[in-house]
Structure 1
Amino acid sequence: MIERTFLSRVRKVLPDLHPAERKLGDLVCNFPGELASYSASELATLAEVSNATVSRFVRRLGYSSYEEARRHVRFEKDSGSRLYLGAIKDVAPHAPRAYAETDMHNVQRTIEAIDESEIEGLTQSLLSARKVWVIGFRVGAPLAQYLQWQLLQVIENIVALPGAGHTMGEHLAALHPTEVVVLFGLRRRVAQMDALLEVIANSGAQLAFITDESMPTRTEATWHFRCATEAPGPLFSHVGVMALLNLMANRVIDAAAETGRARLASIEASNDTLGEL
């Protein structure tokens, strides 16, 4: 049986709670991460209820103790839900400078963590691959499309997945050891990420795995780039990810040399003929 999330447990019992418990339930629905941050007595103070109310509340949710509920919330908080990062006392807006400073720090941390040989190895593999697959879900979907659009200038056989109406099985069945997969695994990750990594590994295709810093290094990946995504606000920052993609695209286009320039010239000629730009 799939374990219910903490919030699904709260929402299920919320209509049947006594007034004090309902007050506590409403608080943790809006700020679930607070249960991970505070002790039972501190949470009782925040909700203006008794310690006994907190104890009854967690038992109604199916937990044997407050600490068990707290561990569950911490696990879900680590999964990347921004709802779990909101704080009751943290209501003041952050200054624009705070976002700029954090983004610049993210770019620096992301790029400094990259080994030069990793980028060069990936560049050559992308250019020599029979086909390149760029896969992204949720926030990774537009990033995958962006990278595919940039690399299409010099790599003819490159596709971004999943497409509208497609299932992954339709494409993964065709994976070949001479191909390269660029996979985005940014929070919050889809449930099938581990299964997807296994299928790619079994295919023999090379894998460039692009994730946030919370993902441990995966041995299935030929290259694993862990991008800094810290942010002062409720959303993750993906500026560091874009810096990595910019580096990748420019290195690949530079390394494509004469073949790449010939393709770029052909693309420009087609643009002129069609009058698209």
Structure 2
Amino acid sequence: MPEKHSALFTTRVREALPTLHPSERRLAELVLNFPGELASYSATELARLANVSNATVTRFVRKIGYASFEAARQDVRANKQAGASLFRVSPGRADSKNYIPAYVTQAQTDIEQTFRLITEAEIDALARKIVGARRVWLLGTRRGHAFAQYLGWQMFQAIPNISVIPASGETLGEAIAAMTAQDCVVAFGLRRTVSKLPQALAHVVGSGASVAYIHDANTLPDLAFTWRFQCETASPGPLFNHAAVITLCHVLATRVIAQAGAGGRKRMGAIEAIHDSLDEV
């Protein structure tokens, strides 16, 4: 039986609610509360949790447009991998005790695993390119935009030629059209990105600029980036942990300030002098 449309799993369930029988509706309410659990259970286990029959599970997945229970599981698994927070929520987490050590340990593990694959030579090469570039573009959408802003704010203390994109009211196309081979671009691709990011980054690479791509599992294997930095973002909870991403930004900004040398220190001194005169900070 072919799938009737490609809507998100939870959208399919909500659309089908008015047509469901009481037992099917009970199953629907269970999966709407914790849709990600569908990827973890067999049809029999899910039927037991909802107190319905296996036949009800089969009818339910077909009514929402899947050929089989396994097809529905695969779709849910893909949504979990893509980073949809609702699909990563599990029953019982709100009542868990002593959860802080688990988060701290996982953050440490993420940082350690990330930096096993990153060399000082790579970071310093990128830092030198940033310092010597005509303009530095920091590209980030959704959560990636926050990291682009943070990295730009830190490096702006030593080098002034920085643009965080997309800026308010502007399009990516307007910025990409201004890029040249003398520029450096640091792009963030953290789940969940906007759908057109791959096409936008293809144009960025086509500009001839040197491009560093900071990402988690959201890889773009067909693009010829100058540098790739993959960050681990595993977490015990429904939200990805970006401790490794912010650590990488911190290390890179620190190396940029070091590579900026006397010129960077002169700018930092001028900034501090103006802060003092304005009593600004």
The separation in 1 between residues aligned to 2:58 and 2:149, in whole angstroms, is: 48
Residue 28 of structure 2 is matched in structure 1 by 25
1:99-110 → structure 2 map (5 Å cutoff): 99-110=103-114
Aligned residues: 277
- What is the deviation of 1:214? 5.2
Q: Does 1:156 align with 2:160?
A: yes
What TM-score comes out, normalization by structure 2 length? 0.93
Q: Does 1:122 align with 2:126?
A: yes
Q: CA RMSD in A?
A: 1.8
Residue 261 of structure 2 is matched in structure 1 by 257
- What is the deviation of 1:90? 4.9
Contact 1:99–1:231 (Cα < 8 Å) also in 2: yes
Q: Does 1:78 align with 2:77?
A: no
1:245 to 237, 249, 259: 249
Where structure 1 has 5 or more consecutive residues not aligned to the other structure, the ranges are none
- What is the deviation of 1:158? 0.0
Residue 9 of structure 2 is matched in structure 1 by 6
1:185 to 186, 189, 192: 189
2:59 to 56, 59, 82: 56
- What is the deviation of 1:8? 1.1
Where structure 2 has 5 or more consecutive residues not aligned to the other structure, the ranges are none
Residue 16 of structure 1 is matched in structure 2 by 19
Moved more, 92-101 or 29-38: 92-101
Q: Indicate the SS of the match to 2:46.
A: helix
Contact 2:110–2:231 (Cα < 8 Å) also in 1: yes
* Residue type at the aligned position of 1:100: V
The separation in 2 between residues aligned to 1:216 and 1:200, in whole angstroms, is: 13
Identity %: 45
* Residue type at the aligned position of 2:91: I
Q: CA offsets per residue over residues 50-108 of structure 1, 9 Å max, x none?
A: 11111110111111111111111111111111211222355542521111111122222
Moved more, 8-17 or 87-96: 87-96
Contact 2:12–2:64 (Cα < 8 Å) also in 1: yes
The separation in 1 between residues aligned to 2:30 and 2:93, in whole angstroms, is: 14
Q: Indicate the SS of the match to 2:215.
A: strand
Q: CA offsets per residue over residues 166-205 of structure 1, 9 Å max, x none?
A: 1111111111111111111111121112112211111111
The separation in 2 between residues aligned to 1:109 and 1:64, in whole angstroms, is: 39
The separation in 1 between residues aligned to 2:217 and 2:244, in whole angstroms, is: 11
* Residue type at the aligned position of 2:153: W
The separation in 1 between residues aligned to 2:220 and 2:168, in whole angstroms, is: 30
Q: Does 1:133 align with 2:142?
A: no
Contact 1:217–1:224 (Cα < 8 Å) also in 2: no
* Residue type at the aligned position of 2:54: N
What TM-score comes out, normalization by structure 1 length? 0.94
* Residue type at the aligned position of 2:156: L
Contact 2:198–2:220 (Cα < 8 Å) also in 1: no
* Residue type at the aligned position of 2:235: A
Q: CA offsets per residue over residues 196-226 of structure 1, 9 Å max, x none?
A: 2211111111111111145365643211111
Contact 1:197–1:220 (Cα < 8 Å) also in 2: no
Residue 40 of structure 2 is matched in structure 1 by 37
Contact 1:137–1:184 (Cα < 8 Å) also in 2: yes
Contact 2:189–2:218 (Cα < 8 Å) also in 1: no
Q: Does 1:212 align with 2:202?
A: no
Contact 1:218–1:224 (Cα < 8 Å) also in 2: no
Residue 279 of structure 2 is matched in structure 1 by 275
Q: Indicate the SS of the match to 1:256.
A: helix
- What is the deviation of 1:134? 0.7
- What is the deviation of 1:276? 0.9
- What is the deviation of 1:230? 1.2
The separation in 2 between residues aligned to 1:221 and 1:186, in whole angstroms, is: 16
